[in-house]
Amino acid sequence: MVETQLLKDCWRALDEELDCGIARFTERCEPAFGKMIRYQLGWNGNGFDPARTGKRIRPLLLLFVTHALEGEWRKALPAAAAVELVHNFSLVHDDIQDKSETRRGSDTVWVKWGIAQAINTGDAMLTLANLEMALLENSQEPSIVMAAVRSLNKATFDLTVGQYLDLAHEKAEDVTMADYFEMVKGKTGALFAVCFRLGALIAGKKPTELIKYSDLGEKFGLAFQIQDDYLGIWGQHGFTGKTVTGDLLNRKKTFPVHYALENLPKARDYWVKHETFTVKDLEWFKNCLENGAVDKITLAEIGRIYADSTAQLSFLFQGSKSASELFQLLNSLFERNR
């Protein structure tokens, strides 16, 4: 990401909001409980470690959208912190479901504290998200607060539906590309959509206008997920912090896999015949994808959705004097290698 002053200010303020929010509600708890929550968010004992926090894309988008629409981004901090908490709640549970042992280069919560406590940590983060949303009452009218809370809860529900579909697709043989996009709209698109929606809401946009911002956020979410799918097979191990081809090893039906199963008979036959993949199987299947130009086709699909999204972005934010940083942030997301 390009480190503009706005990015630095938003990142620092978000750190403070998360730190204070966790402290506010865990100060009377056993210290180890708050430690698990902070660990998931990237706390290293002295502060949040940028190497472990993740990219904080979703809350930053929310703050940047608010700013781009001439709103006061600091008033959106509770919503931004809530989105980050929801995102991490989903990651904690996702790591358990996928049996992922590392995230961001460190042990996952369930590996460090056990499955039961990891579930509890995720539940606590989801609850903290709603408590954070309630803090919007300090700067917003009750109707705005209610609309914001309702929007985030709906997005969280859609996220869990998307996760259900993702898990269900692993064992289903008749999943189509249309099914894939329906899953991604929930699993990834929902939070991207609500970030744009909440940013617009807090910036003062009318309720009838919010759907346009939600739709735009969802599109960027789709492109982001397909890029994630690409990096899950062709990403750089040193950057991703996880094993390259990990998605193939877990037999995730990502965009490249879906395309191959629908368009490459050899790939489909191999997939059906092998219920689990060895390292040799991974190499064969990856080579099959590349021989079928699936890597290039995946990049082209990302480019198509991104181009459509940026055109809509330019239209919605035309005339804004503060939108340049939002454009830069979004551009940086699609130049990443992790």
Domains of the chain: 5-333 (1.10.600.10)
Query: Can you give the pLDDT at residue 241?
Result: 43
Per-residue pLDDT of 315-329, as tens digits, reads 999 988 889 999 999
Rounded Cα gap, residues 316 and 52, in angstroms:
34
114 secondary structure, DSSP code: -
What is residue 248's predicted lDDT score, i.e. its pLDDT?
81
Q: At a CB cut-off of 8 Å and minimum separation 6, what does 135 contact?
A: 21, 78
Higher pLDDT, 277 or 242: 277
Query: How far is residue 282's CA from residue 170's CA, in Å, rounded to a whole number?
Result: 17
Question: Across residues 122-138, what is the average pLDDT?
Answer: 97
Which pLDDT belongs to residue 240?
A: 40
Tell me how long the chain is. 338
Classify the C-alpha dihedral 189-191-192-195 as positive or negative: positive
pLDDT band at 219 (very low <50, low <70, confident <90, very high): very high
Asked whether the predicted pLDDT for residue 144 surpasses 60, the reply is yes
Q: Is the pLDDT of residue 25 over 60?
A: yes
Q: Residue 48: beta bridge partners? A: 43
Averaged pLDDT for residues 123-142: 97
Which residue's entry shows tokens 């309720």?
A: 207
Q: What is the pLDDT of residues 60-71, one digit of tens each?
A: 999 999 999 999
Report the run of H or E that residue 102 belongs to, with start and end.
strand 102-103
Smallest CA-to-CA distance from 235 within 245, 226, 250 is with 245
Average pLDDT, the chain: 92
For residue 289, pLDDT over 50 is answered with: yes
CA–CA dist 224, 186 (Å, integer): 13
Average pLDDT over residues 78-95: 98
Calpha distance 178→241 (Å, rounded): 30
Euclidean distance between CA atoms 71 and 62, whole angstroms: 11
